[in-house]
Amino acid sequence: MNVADDKFNISKIESYLYGELYGTLTQQTFVGTLPETIKDTWQEMCLIDCGSSIVDEDARASGTVMILLYARPNTDGSKNVPKMSQLEQRLNEIIRNANNPHYQISRRATYTDYDTKRNWHYNIVELNIMVF
């Protein structure tokens, strides 16, 4: 890998994913951290987490990126499964239609969790990314 080649720059990967997800998945798409203040009108959020390493494989690089899909809970605090399902379906469509000569993404795994600070449920979608 040529160190000067900015296609391997994590910030470039974050920018690529942000461009793919913002607006199509949700307007509330963030990179690295969620904002401290969550507006009452927000029903969903997306967090792009490129905290894992990008590994040099000579002609290409690869790594794992976490996409955290947040859905505002139902009024009784339970998980809003229909909203979460909608987010996952939109993400699947984005992955299917992604067409970039420098990046290839595929879905690897999904986990579920709960954010006790915000009291929101979220699913963690693990993506494989290859950089050419």
Q: Domains in the chain, please, with CATH?
A: 6-131 (3.30.2000.10)
The alpha carbon dihedral of 61, 9, 102, 21 has a sign of: positive
pLDDT of residue 6: 64
Which string of DSSP letters, residue by residue, matches 51-114? -SPEEEETTEEEEEEEEEEEEPPPTTS---HHHHHHHHHHHHHHHHH---SSEEEEEEEEEEEE
Global pTM value: 0.93
User: What are the CA-CA distances from residue 12 to residues 5, 24, 45, 52, 131 (Å)?
Assistant: 11, 19, 21, 14, 10
Mean pLDDT in the chain?
93
pLDDT of residue 3: 45
Q: Which residues in the chain land under pLDDT 50?
A: 1, 3-4
The tokens for 35 are 């904002």
pLDDT of residue 5: 61
Across the chain, how many H-helices and E-strands are there? 2, 6
Q: Please answer whether residues 65 and 50 qualify as being in contact, where contact means their C-beta atoms are separated by less than 8 angstroms.
A: yes
